Amino acid sequence: MNPFKNAMKQLDNAAGIMNLDSNTHEVLKYPQRVLEVAIPVSMDNGTTKVFTGYRSQYDDTLGPYKGGIRYHPGVTKDEVKALSFWMMIKCATVNIPMGGGKGGVIVNPKELSEGELERLSRGYVQKLWRNIGSDKDVPAPDVYTTPQIMGWMRDEYERIVGHSDPGVITGKAIKDGGSEGRSYATAQGGVYCTIEIAKKINLTPESTTVAIQGFGNAGSHMARILSGLGYKIVAVSDSRGGIVNMEGLDIDQVSEHKKNTRSVSDFSNAKNISNEEILELGVDILVPAALENVITKENAGQIKAKAIVELANGPTTPDADEILNANGVIVIPDVLANAGGVTVSYFEWDQNVKGEHWSEEVVIEKLEKIMVHAFQGVWTVKEKFNIDMRTAAFVSAIERVTSKGL
Distance CA 169, CA 177 (A): 10
CA count, 13 A, side-chain hemisphere, 244: 19
DSSP string computed for 223-280: HHHHHHTT-EEEEEEETTEEEE-TT---HHHHHHHHHHHSSSTT-TTSEEE-HHHHTT
Distances (CA, A) of 205 to 138, 155, 199, 231: 37, 45, 9, 5
DSSP 207: G
The set of catalytic residues is 102
Distances (CA, A) of 178 to 146, 173, 369: 12, 5, 21
DSSP string computed for 333-393: -HHHHTTHHHHHHHHHHHHHHHT----HHHHHHHHHHHHHHHHHHHHHHHHHHT--HHHHH
CB neighbourhood size of 106 (10 A): 17
CA count, 13 A, side-chain hemisphere, 308: 32
Distance CA 405, CA 62 (A): 10
Distance CA 96, CA 91 (A): 6
**Helix (H), strand (E) counts: the chain:** 14, 12
Three-class DSSP category at 39: strand
